[in-house]
Structure 1
Amino acid sequence: MSPESLAALVALALEPLGLGGAELRRRLRQAGVKVPSELIQGLASAGLVRAEGELYSLTPEGHQALRDAEAALAGAHDPSPTTLGMEECPSVPWLTQVQTHWVEAVSINYAVEPERLARLLPAPLEPEVFHGSAWVQVLMSSLRDMRPQGVSPLLGVCFYQASYRAAVRYRNAKGDWRRGGYFVRSETNDPVMRRVGNALKEFKFHEFGEAHMVMAREGDLLTTAVDPEPAFPGGKLVGVFDTRPSLRPPPGSVWKDLEHLHEPLVECYDALGVADGYVYVLTIDREPWNARFVQPVQLYSEYFAEGPLVPGARLDSVLHLTECAYRWRPLRREPHAR
C-alpha cells in the first residue's frame, strides 16, 4: 500500500460518517500528502472505500487494511518480533509478566576469547564476535518495586542482582539468525526472589545463586560488592566507580564511541535459554538506557580473574546506567536448527 493510500484511509477512519472528496483532498494536502487524481477511485476499486452520495467512508476491508498496516509498522519497530513457529509458553502469565525499575546499574564489559565462551553455551547458541572478541557484561543493578504488571508498587520487591550476560546468537528452524543474551552466571541478594525465579520455567535454563550484595554511593563514587554464598563460589566482585559521565571510551577500548558500542552491547532485549529442542526467549520491553562511560577506580572480578574464561578475558569499558523502567513479555519459544 502506498503512503498516499494509507494517509487517505487514516483520514477517512477519523470521520466515520464520511468525508466529501474535496474535503478529503484538502486535508491530505494540508498534511503534506500529494494526492493523485485517481487515488480515491483506486481505493474504491480495491474495495477499501465506498461512496454514499458525495461522501466517502471506509469499508470493513478498509478498516482491516489499516489494522494490517498498523501491525506491520509495529513489527518493523519491534526489537524482538515473533516469527513463524514461535509460540507463547508462560508458566504463570499473571505472575511472570512483571515490571520494575532499575534505580541504577553498571555494565562492566569484558572481551573474551570466543572459543572459551563457546564451551559455556548450550547448542545451538554461539558467541557473537565483535572486533575479534566475544563479549560478556557483568550487569550489577539495584532493582525497585518488582511486581506483576498491574499490582501496586507498594507490594513490589527491592533487591540487588548481578548477571553475567554473554552476547550470543542462534539459527532457528527456518534458518534465520536471532541474537540475544545468555546468562552464564547470576546472583541475587533476595532469597525469595531466588527461589521464585528458579522455580519458574522462565529461568529453568538460568539458575540464580545467592550472595551478599551492596551498592552504595558517596558523591560521584559508586561502590558495588558481591560476596556469594559458599554454595556458589567464583563470583566475588568489588568495584568502585567514578560515575562522572563521559561520551568517550577509556584508553584501550576497541569501541570508537557509544554509538559503535550501542547495538552490540546495549540493544539486547532477549534473554535466551535452551531446553527440550527449543530456544526460549524472554523479552524485556524497556526504556532506553541512558548509558555513559565511567571510570573504574578499583575493580576485581573473581570470575574473570580466575574463572572459566581465563586466560584471555580483558576489561574493555564500564557503563553507568541511570533509572530505567522495564517489563517482561510472556515467555516464548521456537524450534532451533539441528
Structure 2
Amino acid sequence: MLAALKNHPFAVEAFFKSSIVLTFAVPKKQLEQMIPECLELDTFQDEWAFVAVAMVQTHALRPKGMPKFMGNNFFLIGYRIFVRYTNAAGKRLRGLYIIKSETDQKKMEFMGNLFTHYNYTTTDIHQVHEGDRSTISSRRSDFSVTITKSDDATLPKGSPFADWKEARRFAGPLPFTFTYNARNKEVLIIEGVRENWVPMPVTVNDYHFGFIDGLKLQGAVLANAFIIENIPYYWKKGKREQWQ
C-alpha cells in the first residue's frame, strides 16, 4: 500500500513564480551508465547529452482541484537528465530522468517522498534579487548561481548550440518524467501540463554546483540558461506500464 502511494496517485498543480534552468552539455558516453535500461539519452548531433539543474519557486502547490489556500509555497531544486522513452504503443516520448531532488522545507520532503520516487532532501536556500540580477545559493548543498535577465543575453562560452533557437529545444520542461522499477520492469510516466511557457534567455554571471562537480563528468560545458515566470503548471496522475 505504501509503495503504491509513491506512484503519483493523484494530479498536482502549482503556480511557478519563477523557474531558472541551467543545462549542461556532456559527451554522451559520460551519462549512459546513469540512466535505467528502459531509457535512452536525448542527444544533440548524436554527440551531446544533457544534465539540467532547475530551481523553481512554487506557489500554492496542492492536489489538483483543491482550493489555493490549501496549497503550500516551496522552493524546489531538481537535477535531471534529458531522455527518451518508447512506450507500449510505440510512441517516442521526450522527458526527464531525475537524479537528485531538494527542497527548502521538511513538509515538502515528507510529502514528496510519500507520493513520489524522487528522494527529496531538505536544504537551506538563500535568494537575493536586485533589479534584473538574482543570486540563489545553498551552503548545505554547496551551490551558488547568479544570473542577469537582459534582452541581449548570449549563449555561454563553449555551448554546442549555434543560437538560442537551437538551444531552446533543450531548455525544458520536457513533457514527461520517468521512473523505473528494475525489479518488475515497470515504468512510471508522469506528464506535465503548462500554459504560456516562454523561456527567456539569461546571462549566467557565475555558478557552482557541488553535486554536478561530484559527478566528475569529463568535458561538461554550460550549454544554455533560461528563466520563466508566473506560469500555471500541473502534473497528471502517474501512469504505469510494463517495459518489454
Fold equivalence (TM over 0.5)? yes
Matching residue of 2:178: 272
Deviation readout 1:214-248 (Å, 9 max, x if unpaired): 233111111111344xxxxxx42101111124465
Matching residue of 1:122: 36
Q: Relative to 1, partners in 2 of residues 1:172 and 1:151: Cα closer, same or farther, differing over 3 Å?
A: closer
Whole-angstrom distance in 2 between the partners of 1:95 and 1:191 = 21
Whole-angstrom distance in 1 between the partners of 2:113 and 2:7 = 16
The CA deviation at 1:171 is: 3.1
Matching residue of 2:138: 226
Whole-angstrom distance in 2 between the partners of 1:142 and 1:195 = 18
- TM-score normalised by L of structure 2: 0.88
The CA deviation at 1:92 is: 9.0
Match of 1:197 among 70, 88, 112: 112
The CA deviation at 1:150 is: 2.2
Say whether the 8 Å CA contact 1:105–1:142 is kept in structure 2.
yes
SS of equivalent to 1:322: strand
The CA deviation at 1:94 is: 10
Say whether the 8 Å CA contact 1:247–1:292 is kept in structure 2.
no
Match of 1:323 among 230, 233, 237: 230
Q: More strand by proportion, 1 or 2?
A: 2
Whole-angstrom distance in 2 between the partners of 1:333 and 1:94 = 10
Q: Which runs of 5+ in 2 are unaligned?
A: none
Match of 1:242 among 136, 143, 148: 148
- TM-score normalised by L of structure 1: 0.65
Whole-angstrom distance in 2 between the partners of 1:198 and 1:267 = 21
Q: Does 1:252 align with 2:168?
A: no
The CA deviation at 1:91 is: 3.9
Aligned AA (1:212): D
Higher relative contact order (CA 8 A, sep 6+): 2
Q: Does 1:104 align with 2:18?
A: yes
Say whether the 8 Å CA contact 2:18–2:57 is kept in structure 1.
yes
Matching residue of 1:183: 98
Aligned AA (2:123): A
Q: Does 1:289 align with 2:204?
A: no
Say whether the 8 Å CA contact 1:103–1:323 is kept in structure 2.
yes
SS of equivalent to 1:284: strand
Whole-angstrom distance in 2 between the partners of 1:293 and 1:237 = 21
Alpha-carbon RMSD across the aligned residues, in angstroms, is: 2.3
The CA deviation at 1:166 is: 0.8
Q: Relative to 1, partners in 2 of residues 1:324 and 1:245: Cα closer, same or farther, differing over 3 Å?
A: farther
| Count of residue pairs brought into register by the alignment | 238
Say whether the 8 Å CA contact 2:93–2:176 is kept in structure 1.
no
Whole-angstrom distance in 2 between the partners of 1:252 and 1:224 = 23
Whole-angstrom distance in 2 between the partners of 1:98 and 1:128 = 26
Say whether the 8 Å CA contact 2:25–2:160 is kept in structure 1.
no
Matching residue of 2:206: 298
Whole-angstrom distance in 2 between the partners of 1:336 and 1:288 = 33
Q: Relative to 1, partners in 2 of residues 1:163 and 1:314: Cα closer, same or farther, differing over 3 Å?
A: same
Q: Which runs of 5+ in 1 are unaligned?
A: 1-89, 229-234
Whole-angstrom distance in 2 between the partners of 1:106 and 1:97 = 23
Q: Does 1:216 align with 2:128?
A: yes
Whole-angstrom distance in 2 between the partners of 1:94 and 1:119 = 26
Q: More helix by proportion, 1 or 2?
A: 1
Aligned AA (1:293): P
Identity within the alignment, %: 23
Say whether the 8 Å CA contact 1:165–1:184 is kept in structure 2.
yes
